[in-house]
Amino acid sequence: MKKITYLDHAATTPVRPEVLKAMLPWFSENYGNPSSLYSIGRESKGTIAKAREQLARLVNAPADRVFFTGCGTEADNWAVKGTAFANSGKGKHIIVSAIEHHAVLDTAESLHGLGFDITILPVDRYGLVDPDTLKHAIRDDTILVSVMHANNEVGTIEPAAEISAICRDKGVIFHVDAVQTVGNYPVDVDELGCDLLSASGHKLYGPKGVGALFIRKGTRIKSRLNGGGQERNRRAGTENIAGIVGFGKAAELAIEEMRGAMERSSKLRDRLRDGILERIPDVRLNGHPTKQLPNNLNVSIEGIEGESILLRLDMKGICASTGSACTTGNLEPSHVLLAMGIPHEICHGSQRFTLGRATTQEEIDYTVDALEEIVKTLRAMSPMYQRNA
């Protein structure tokens, strides 16, 4: 099999062996339904409680405020629609940032037809929300503000604590999509001051198909899935026990290893960035120079198409991304880069590299070599790139 250089950890991460090992018995040997009263059911219930504590510890939340969902997308949908429907008596105005994941943006837009008024908050050239602009956008009928902790495309880290102080002052619920940060960058629900926070298992070396929503005590929010009494009557449906166990185990490992992983990543990321800037002309960096996730590098390579670069990288076994995984295959430029004011033609040449815990220096050097060669070849054929012609 061809060796894969995987630099797309913002899209998903591999399940760690320790995580898989913890999950396996819960598919077959320990199959009891946690709602059943006999012993194997009680065991399932106990293991869910343990996973809830592991995840709660990672984000410094009380365990009984963490609710498991079917994915990060479901947690985002629950946060936005659940608060909208529970608080519509107070008002019908919702504010979301322009660079939210589609799980938040499209959910907010879906409420538009139901009489809700949505304000899309602009960002600056680095992708930052300005707390002052937010303050002025809040109205008497505003019920929810949703701003992500760190952006999945450019890695920009938002001023969540400042935003939460404003929301608290105005009595508005604050949701944070922390899917990119939980397990990869410190998250503390009290420091962030948020009322709601979304996470997803597969972005921190856990399995796909499991997410979670933190709900601060006293936050008015309606359930989105009705049925059985699971998740303390908040989210019906027989639990994905193996998935939840894996999510918990991944959270536990992250508590021990996150700091070291961040340090390693940021060194390798800087090496990748410096290598690209030294060897390839006409490259722009996207995202904030310091308020950025340590594993993210997003560049715009002028005069060529991101998709062409991506396919040629793939032929060399390198997995990267142009725009976000959800919009790949869609030739519209990324809504995040456009919101940052980057011109259309430059957006088209954007490439995202997101490093992981197993990324090596050899892989980084191989990627710089490969990219240099690919860019030379593509630019030589590109009518859009005239500079040295």
Ligand X SMILES: *Cc1c(COP(=O)(O)O)cnc(C)c1O
Shortest Cβ 72–ligand X spacing (Å): 3
Both structure tokens of 31: 């199959």
Exactly one of 34, 72, 243, 349 binds ligand X (CB under 6 A); which one?
72
> Is the CB of residue 124 less than 8 Å from the CB of residue 156?
no
Q: Which is nearer to ligand X, 200 or 321 (CB)?
A: 200
Q: Which is nearer to ligand X, 145 or 368 (CB)?
A: 145
Q: Which is nearer to ligand X, 211 or 294 (CB)?
A: 211
Exactly one of 7, 48, 148, 336 binds ligand X (CB under 6 A); which one?
148
Exactly one of 47, 83, 107, 152 binds ligand X (CB under 6 A); which one?
152
Residue 377: its H or E element: helix 361-381
Per the listing, tokens 């410190």 go with: 186
Which region among 72-80, 159-167, 263-271, 311-319 touches ligand X (by CB under 6 A)? Answer: 72-80
Q: Residue 208: phi, psi to the nearest 5? A: -80, 155
List the one residue out of 253, 257, 258, 251 whose CA is nearest residue 63.
251
Q: Which is nearer to ligand X, 339 or 374 (CB)?
A: 339
The site string for ligand X over 96-135 (x = CB under 6 A, - otherwise) reads: -----x-x--------------------------------
Shortest Cβ 81–ligand X spacing (Å): 15
Shortest Cβ 148–ligand X spacing (Å): 6
> Is the CB of residue 156 less than 8 Å from the CB of residue 287?
yes
Shortest Cβ 34–ligand X spacing (Å): 22
Q: Which is nearer to ligand X, 180 or 359 (CB)?
A: 180
Q: What is the rounded radius of gyration, in angstroms, for the C-alpha atoms of the chain?
A: 22
If binding is defined by CB under 6 A, does position 251 make contact with ligand X? no
Distances (CA, A) of 312 to 74, 272, 274, 347: 34, 18, 21, 18
Q: Which is nearer to ligand X, 229 or 329 (CB)?
A: 329
> Is the CB of residue 251 less than 8 Å from the CB of residue 55?
yes
Asked if 71 is an active-site residue, the reply is no
Which region among 30-38, 112-120, 138-146, 177-185 touches ligand X (by CB under 6 A)? Answer: 177-185
Q: Which is nearer to ligand X, 250 or 304 (CB)?
A: 250
Packing angle between helix 361-381 and helix 306-315, nearest 10 degrees? 130
Shortest Cβ 99–ligand X spacing (Å): 10
- Under rule CB under 6 A, how many of the chain's residues touch ligand X? 15
Exactly one of 177, 239, 302, 305 binds ligand X (CB under 6 A); which one?
177
The site string for ligand X over 183-212 (x = CB under 6 A, - otherwise) reads: -----------------x-xx-------x-
Shortest Cβ 244–ligand X spacing (Å): 13
| DSSP secondary structure string for all residues of 170-192 | HT-EEEEE-TTTTTTS---HHHH
Exactly one of 77, 87, 142, 180 binds ligand X (CB under 6 A); which one?
180
Which region among 65-73, 134-142, 244-252, 267-275 touches ligand X (by CB under 6 A)? Answer: 65-73
Q: Is the dihedral of CA 159, 160, 161, 165 positive or negative?
A: positive
Indicate which residue of 71, 319, 326, 347 is catalytic.
326
| DSSP secondary structure string for all residues of 83-137 | HHHHHTTT--EEEEETT--HHHHHHHHHHHTTT-EEEEE---TTSPPPHHHHHHH
Query: Residue 197: beta bridge partners?
Result: 176, 214
**CA–CA distance, 12 with 10 (Å, rounded to integer):** 6
Q: Is the dihedral of CA 328, 332, 353, 292 positive or negative?
A: negative
Shortest Cβ 345–ligand X spacing (Å): 26
Angle at 318 between CA 315 and CA 323, to 5 degrees: 100
Catalytic residue annotation: 326
Q: Given the rule CB under 6 A, which residues bind ligand X?
A: 71-73, 76, 101, 103, 148, 152, 177, 179-180, 200, 202-203, 211
